[in-house]
A = this chain, B = another copy of it.
Amino acid sequence: MFKVESQEVDRRIELFKQAAKAAGIKLTHQRIEIFREVASSVDHPSAEAVHKALSPRMPTLSHDTVYRTLWLLTDLGMVSTLGPKRESIRFDANPEPHHHYVCLRCGLARDFKSSELNELRIPEAVSEFGSINATQVEVHGICKDCLQKQQDN
């Protein structure tokens, strides 16, 4: 499996340390190693994969810590998730070409159409990964309901 260059990883860890300090959270060994693992991997690991990768070096590392730390990193903006967050698998029976708006907080997903976005030019290099079946745009944001709840606090 490919790795991100260590120089780049160090740079990202530096950014994380700054963000942690700014947010007033503690810089534990666990947090640094968990972030290092995600930052140095190109294949978007699951929490389980992160735990497995670190276990040899950190045999007492708990699953809970991995999960808590990954969500913390997400809140700090150092890490993001692929697809709708936290939720279970979501299904879509819209046969027309369309695109998705996804709420980062509650997972709400809505379709929208755009003939312009249906005609995107995908870089040649992508076909190195495999066949191309479909292409769609994902817009990430916070939905109106969640924005409302945020204000109520």
Contacts and interface: CB of A to CB of B under 8 A. Distances in A.
B133 A142 contact: yes
Contact of A138 (B12, B38, B135): B135
A79 B89 CA distance: 12
A25 B94 CA distance: 22
Query: Copies per complex?
Result: 2
Interface residues on A, range: 35 or more
A104 to B, nearest CB: 6
Interface in A107-153: 108-114, 116-117, 120-123, 125-126, 129-147
B90 A45 contact: yes
A15 B95 contact: yes
A66 to B, nearest CB: 10
Nearest to A15: B95
Contacts of A134: 80, 139-141
B126 A135 contact: no
Interface string A46-62: 11101000000000000
Contact of A83 (B90, B131, B135): B90
Nearest first, the 7 A-B pairs at minimum CB distance are A83-B83, A130-B143, A39-B93, A44-B90, A38-B93, A46-B88, A82-B90
Interface of A: 12, 15, 35, 38-39, 41-48, 50, 70, 73-74, 78-93, 95, 100-104, 108-114, 116-117, 120-123, 125-126, 129-147
